[in-house]
Structure 1
Amino acid sequence: MLKKSALLDAIAGTNRGLLASEQQKQSILAAIATLEDLNPTPRPVEAANLLQGNWRLLYTTSKALLNLDRVPLAQLGQIYQCIRVETTSIYNIAEIYGLPYLEGLVSIAAKFEPVDGRRVQVKFQRSIVGFQRLIGYNSPEDFIQQIETGKKFTAIDVPINSDTQQGWLDITYIDNDLRIGRGNEGSVFVLSKT
């Protein structure tokens, strides 16, 4: 699809938005809006087969995520959002790189509840921050399996009060390999299925 490739071309070279100029940001937001108008899945939340899986962040306007790259001596690696439809679980995983042997990980586990055909309510449940080696991190898939078995990690591993820490996400576009979402804080997310 021509509009999809235009968005991906606009995003290329922006390092998920970290390096995007104001002009690029405006062009990207316009390309996102154009693609959202062409969403082939009118009720994305009900498309479990499309939602399910591991998604890699391509672009965002989320200051919280982009600020992870501002930690001294550290560089933001891949960011994943892994959705498990059967358990209504979402796992956000950000890999942090820097000094050898001190690779880090920032992760949030949450539950989601469909509100309508486009929106999910997200309740954050657990935060895990630590060194990849101490956690035993190899891949998002392996890490999620450990979380789901109830493993307590050698890290800052704390429960989150889901009554106070929650938000919503509108899924505004989804197909077999691309998803666009808009969050309650005004952030935009573009992800590709891995």
Structure 2
Amino acid sequence: MNISTRKANLLKAIAPVNRGLQMSDNQRKDIFAAIAYLEEVNPNPTPNRTPKLLDGNWLLLFTTSQELLGIDKFPLYKLGEIYQCLRVSDAKIFNVAKVQGLPLLGGLVSVCASFTVVSDQRVKVNFERLVAGSQTLAGYKNIDSFIERLRSPKKLLAIDAQIKRTDQKGWLETTYIDQDLRIGRGNEGNVFVLRRV
């Protein structure tokens, strides 16, 4: 079976589960099998040596991360699009989750991190900053312009706090990547499937 068929099978398996929010045990098994099947034929097994392939904005299609999916459990709010934006030349990762609520209650939660390459697939992640608040007050227009705002040292009109933890053990491994799809696995056993935007 070729790569495009394996990719199509994975995308078909994750389509009905709303990024992992609504998933039966059978769907979970099918998704994990499709992920492993695609990882077997990773065309770029040393992604950290090809920064151009990693760099850019990635939209989350599926995850097992309860930290991310848990945002959906707040009353009156629904989890919107989630992005992971990699700026390899700066060694930065920006996770941005849009939250939809009642009219005028559109919000966002963003975590900014730096990373250090530790192998051809793995980076050590150090979380540095949390930004949460109204999309309007934080100046959110689109993902690119917002990442530029986050890259500037200027504080935003939102909860904008430094994360100061010396015991961080976070890491992220890219287990599959091509021009438009990326699979990552994290230190807590979480899996992420993302599409380039």
TM-score range, shorter chain: over 0.9
Q: In structure 1, what is the equivalent of residue 146 of structure 2?
A: 143
Secondary structure of 2:34's counterpart equals: helix
Q: Which residue of 2 aligns with 1:57?
A: 60
- 1:176 counterpart = 2:145: no
Distance 2:28 2:100 in 1: 26
Using the TM superposition, give the Cα deviation of residue 102 of structure 1 relative to its aligned residue in structure 2, in angstroms.
Answer: 0.9
Is residue 2:173 matched to residue 1:157?
no
Name the CA distance, whole Å, in 1 between partners of 2:47 and 2:166. Answer: 26
**Corresponding position: 1:84 with 2:94:** no
Match of 1:99 in 2: 102
5+ residue gaps in structure 2? none
Q: How far, CA to CA, are the matches of 2:14 and 2:50 in structure 1?
A: 26
Taking the aligned partners of 1:164 and 1:158, their CA distance within structure 2 comes to: 18
- Larger CA deviation: 143-152 vs 21-30: 143-152
One-letter identity of the residue aligned with 2:5:
L
| Superposed displacement of residue 92, structure 1 | 0.1
Q: For structure 1, which runs of at least 5 residues remain unmatched after alignment? A: none
The answer as to 2:115 corresponding to 1:112 is: yes
Partner AA of 1:55 in structure 2: W
Instruction: Please state if 1:39 is matched with 2:42.
Output: yes
| TM-score in terms of structure 1 length | 0.98
Deviations, residues 81-136 of structure 1 (Å, cap 9, x unaligned): 00001101100000000110110100000001110001000000100010111111
**Does structure 2 retain, via aligned residues, the 8 Å contact 1:169–1:183?**
yes
Count of aligned pairs: 194
Is the partner of 1:7 in helix, strand or coil?
A: helix
Shift of 1:166: 4.3
- Counterpart of 2:13 in structure 1 is 10
CA positional deviation for 1:162: 4.7
TM-score normalised to structure 2 length: 0.96
Structure 1 residue matching 2:8: 3-state secondary structure: helix
Contact 1:77 1:96 in 2 (8 A): yes
The letter for the 1-side match of 2:29 is: Q
Shift of 1:163: 2.1
How far apart, CA to CA, are the structure 1 residues paired with 2:55 and 2:192? 17
- Between the aligned partners of 2:114 and 2:41, the Cα distance in structure 1 is 28
Poorly superposed stretches of 4+, deviation over 4 Å:
none
Cα distance in 2 for residues equivalent to 1:145 and 1:94: 16
Distance 1:88 1:32 in 2: 26
Give the root-mean-square deviation of aligned CA atoms.
Answer: 0.9
For 2:23, what is the secondary structure of its paired residue? coil
